[in-house]
Structure 1
């Protein structure tokens, strides 16, 4: 089945890039974010022309051992995170500012509310710093938001109809037809064309998704895949393969800004502080989709080469310590391995 789509506006007027970052063992190095930007340059350069919102999510407490998913860092991790924010800010300004004069920031304040409004402490203040042309925006919360509230805070500052949501440790490894994907999302659905509100990019675990146990074990999902999976054809003749996705993943994705806000964040009760979207709303969405209620979510997976082409690589930001430290660890491991081999001979 194929669907013809029409061309739209220039990409920078349609799309904002949202980058979320947080304490990482590789700080204060910017290698993680640099890898993301390098992958944009190599595989989807038009992303670097778009507006960008960077959220510097922070930690909850300092402890003797880091548990980053729980918002726990060491004393050293807290110190390096401050320098990391400064380094990433400079990097983003270099990459996204059109002129040197566009790097001057103005400051404002915002709040991320959550939970019951009757609890006065259920909000997190944050600082907004942005360039005069609104090309670049930084969000710096006073307390940990978690991925979900970090994305919502960025969405509320977004002025474009679509967003590219990018975690700091998922670089691209394959070319992405951004214009064609946006054209698919712009086209209004009809009786022959289902809605496209969210497009996830394939990681290793999502290869051959349409034939995976995530789909075929459930008759409703298998039937929806058979009916919905298709090639969207652009005016230029480019084919854009998509298969329905029965989940809302946090890994890099394109989405409608309005759909995101209304479907994932309909109220302050929808997302606890510190939570991930895929662990909360994503699970509820999948349970609904198993019963056949996919249409209101309209989630898809980009499916090049019938699901065999990888588009993302995970750099394991919670454990990766940067190329220099990783090289040192490998050198130590080789020495220890050689020593054990010598002692056993």
Structure 2
């Protein structure tokens, strides 16, 4: 009997303070995209809310570093209450537990929670592919595949125009899947081997409270591989999923919470007949492609071009 996806995967959905709070629209879009992955709605799922630092001075909140003012804090706390309701209703977990973390806590700590679980692989967010097959492929290549990520438009452009100090990264076939070596540990949605998180990621004292894996180990990994080349890649075992039918197309779509307010303003202006929209304004609307692409949520400045 084939192993069910529930026995293979634990899903972690990480959320944080973003300008769209207290609206849960971004979270709801991400949860809706679970339906693109057969069996994903049946998996054990954790919803976590990152910590924050309350700004002691006036000025706008800095969501990337989780430094928010009192108004944004009130919005974030209200969002957490709404998110618990949405999460339980959407996944049918009426008795589920959902918790928030203390201030100054980042997604590094939230993912650490998932590393304590029994499932062999941890999915940080989601992706519409045959996830069970991908997990079986990872288990068939335990010494090689520890992390499989999915490409947004921006990360795909980086792959297509690699840094001159990095070695070539030709795609390779593993069972029914094609994967390409990845030289950076992204916080974007990915499938990660739980034991790799326990022993390699968290087993070396790399992180302090408030750190992000991408901002710490990710950059250290990039510097290491620029120095050691492909010979050092096996230590990390990080790969990117390649769509065999559309190799130059992203396999992930970013749903921006950072641009939520600009989107609302833009739509309101159109309704009122106002055409003067501030130059350079970006929106977080996922557009018509949302029906065909997976979603991640976030507010990182680095993902602004991923829409």
TM-score of the superposed pair, with normalisation by structure 1: 0.71
- Given candidates 105, 121, 125, the residue that maps to 1:145 is 105
- Given candidates 230, 233, 249, the residue that maps to 1:294 is 233
Determine the structure 2 residue equivalent to 1:93: 88
Write the mapping of 1:4-43 to structure 2, written as runs, cut at 5 A.
9-41=3-35, 43=36
- Given candidates 217, 224, 227, the residue that maps to 1:281 is 217
Determine the structure 1 residue equivalent to 2:291: none
SS at match of 1:12: helix
Larger-gyration structure (1/2): 1
- Given candidates 196, 206, 209, the residue that maps to 2:145 is 196
SS at match of 2:234: coil
User: How far off is 1:294 after superposition?
Assistant: 0.7
CA gap of 1:330–1:25, structure 2 versus 1, over 3 A, is farther
Query: Which consecutive residues of structure 2, in runs of 5 or more, have no partner in the other structure?
Result: 278-307
Determine the structure 1 residue equivalent to 2:281: none
Asked whether the equivalents of residues 21 and 57 of structure 1 are also in contact (C-alpha less than 8 Å), the reply is yes
- Given candidates 261, 264, 267, the residue that maps to 1:321 is 261
CA–CA distance in structure 2, aligned partners of residues 139 and 40 of structure 1 = 21
CA gap of 1:258–1:316, structure 2 versus 1, over 3 A, is same
SS at match of 1:185: helix
Aligned pairs, number: 272
SS at match of 1:280: helix
CA gap of 1:282–1:8, structure 2 versus 1, over 3 A, is farther
Determine the structure 2 residue equivalent to 1:162: 121
CA–CA distance in structure 2, aligned partners of residues 138 and 69 of structure 1 = 23
User: How far off is 1:258 after superposition?
Assistant: 0.9
Determine the structure 2 residue equivalent to 1:69: 64
RMSD, aligned α-carbons: 2.6
CA gap of 1:333–1:213, structure 2 versus 1, over 3 A, is farther
CA–CA distance in structure 2, aligned partners of residues 176 and 245 of structure 1 = 19
User: How far off is 1:151 after superposition?
Assistant: 1.5
1:103 aligns to 2:94 (yes or no): yes
SS at match of 2:177: strand
CA–CA distance in structure 2, aligned partners of residues 50 and 322 of structure 1 = 35
CA gap of 1:274–1:325, structure 2 versus 1, over 3 A, is farther
Asked whether the equivalents of residues 28 and 84 of structure 1 are also in contact (C-alpha less than 8 Å), the reply is yes
Query: Which consecutive residues of structure 1, in runs of 5 or more, have no partner in the other structure?
Result: 1-6, 105-130, 132-136, 234-238, 338-345
CA gap of 1:24–1:208, structure 2 versus 1, over 3 A, is closer
1:206 aligns to 2:165 (yes or no): no
